[in-house]
Amino acid sequence: MSSMLTFSPLNNSAIASLKKDLKHNGFVVFHNPWGDEWVAGLEQFLEATPVRQTNGQIIYPITANSSATGKSDAQSLGIGLLPHTEWSYKALPPKWLCLRGQTPDRWGGGATTLVNFRDLLRHFTLEEQQFMAEKNQYFMSKNGKENYFAPIWQRELGIIRFSYNVLIHKQFSPDLYKPIPQGCDRFLMGLCNKILDLYENYSIPIHLKKRTNFNHG
């Protein structure tokens, strides 16, 4: 289970305990950390300066967008984004991510899902692991202005890159029922579908109430 607590400035023992939990579970949940000084609390816990989004904000508000209706997009009222890793188009994706329950939705909280990819590796054949580690794939940003070619699994760096939408459709937010494009690598498509199935079976639901922080790496 995750660590669940309200905290004031952390002592060294508490920081060590939380880091151990984060390493073991892959995520930690905080309730109202250090009042409204949550950024300072996270800096103390992670020993890192928050990285701002490309729009200049630390908190990126996700709200429904009519232009995203019917698409696999975080702002869609449909199913949202299919499984993905954050900033897969960067040379070095961020090690830690933080979600902040700033404004509750109509049911009083937000929700996301998480899976530890390392736990899934035992389900892949040696051929699939070799493909993920050696075959460069194309990854792109939502606005299409940034892209990067790299393997899904950069074993030596401990980096996992994945985006079903980009790998299969070459789009960040395709239509929900867009057909699989002709010429798609069949081995890659089978691998991505296998990852989707594993994600459904092994992902953990995370619910965020107002003033809750969720950190994962």
E-only strand ranges, the chain: 4-5, 27-31, 97-100, 109-114, 136-140, 147-151, 153-154, 159-160, 204-209, 212-216
Q: What's the pTM value of the predicted model, to 2 decimals?
A: 0.82
Report how far residue 72's alpha carbon sits from residue 77's, in angstroms, rounded to the nearest whole number.
9
Report how far residue 20's alpha carbon sits from residue 9's, in angstroms, rounded to the nearest whole number.
18
Report how far residue 14's alpha carbon sits from residue 145's, in angstroms, rounded to the nearest whole number.
41
pLDDT given at position 204? 86
What are the φ and ψ backbone dihedral angles of 147, each rounded to 5 degrees? Answer: -150, 165
Contacts for 45 with CB less than 8 Å, ≥ 6 apart: 10, 15, 18, 19, 215
**Segments in the chain forming alpha helices (H):** 12-25, 38-46, 117-120, 126-134, 164, 186-202
Quick one: CA dihedral 136, 140, 144, 145, positive or negative? Answer: negative
pLDDT given at position 211? 63
Extract the tokens encoding 191.
């691998």
Which amino acid is located at 61 in the chain? P
Blockwise average pLDDT, block size 10, the chain, 217 residues:
49 81 79 70 77 75 83 81 92 84 65 85 96 97 92 94 95 89 92 95 82 68
pLDDT given at position 74? 85
